[in-house]
Amino acid sequence: GENVEQHPSTLSVQEGDSAVIKCTYSDSASNYFPWYKQELGKRPQLIIDIRSNVGEKKDQRIAVTLNKTAKHFSLHITETQPEDSAVYFCAAAGGGADGLTFGKGTHLIIQP
């Protein structure tokens, strides 16, 4: 089945700086890669996703890049703000009957 590795587990950045979270996946047949944000005590919510026919996607301060050859994808957050503090999960799907496989999450801390 699919295996998704996510790094780092904790990331602390100064407000206004950029944050990058990286994920690798194992199943070359996976073709859908979403990112979810989970604030403390809340449910995960989709913030951006990318499909395998696209190398990069951007939505305001958030961007995701995908390298299918290397089987890795990354989340980039620019001009970080206090409300960006949360746990971020990457995921991969589409390679088989395994559902959506999530990474273990990155706790992003924005320092004022």
Partner 1 sequence: DSGVTQTPKHLITATGQRVTLRCSPRSGDLSVYWYQQSLDQGLQFLIQYYNGEERAKGNILERFSAQQFPDLHSELNLSSLELGDSALYFCASSVLSEDAGELFFGEGSRLTVL
Q: Which residues bind partner 1 (CB under 8 A)?
A: 1, 6, 31-32, 34, 36, 42-46, 49, 51, 89, 93-94, 97-105
Q: How far, in Å, CA of 58 to CA of 63, rounded?
A: 4
Residue 5, Ramachandran bin (φ over 0: left; ψ between -120 and 50: alpha; else beta): beta
Q: How many residues are given for the chain?
A: 112
Shortest reach from residue 50's CB to partner 1, in Å: 11
Nearer to partner 1, 75 or 93 (CB): 93
Nearer to partner 1, 15 or 58 (CB): 58
Nearer to partner 1, 22 or 78 (CB): 22
Shortest reach from residue 17's CB to partner 1, in Å: 25
Shortest reach from residue 16's CB to partner 1, in Å: 28
What DSSP assignment string belongs to 49-104?
EEETT-SEEEETTEEEEEETTTTEEEEEE-S--GGG-EEEEEEEB-SSTT-PEE--
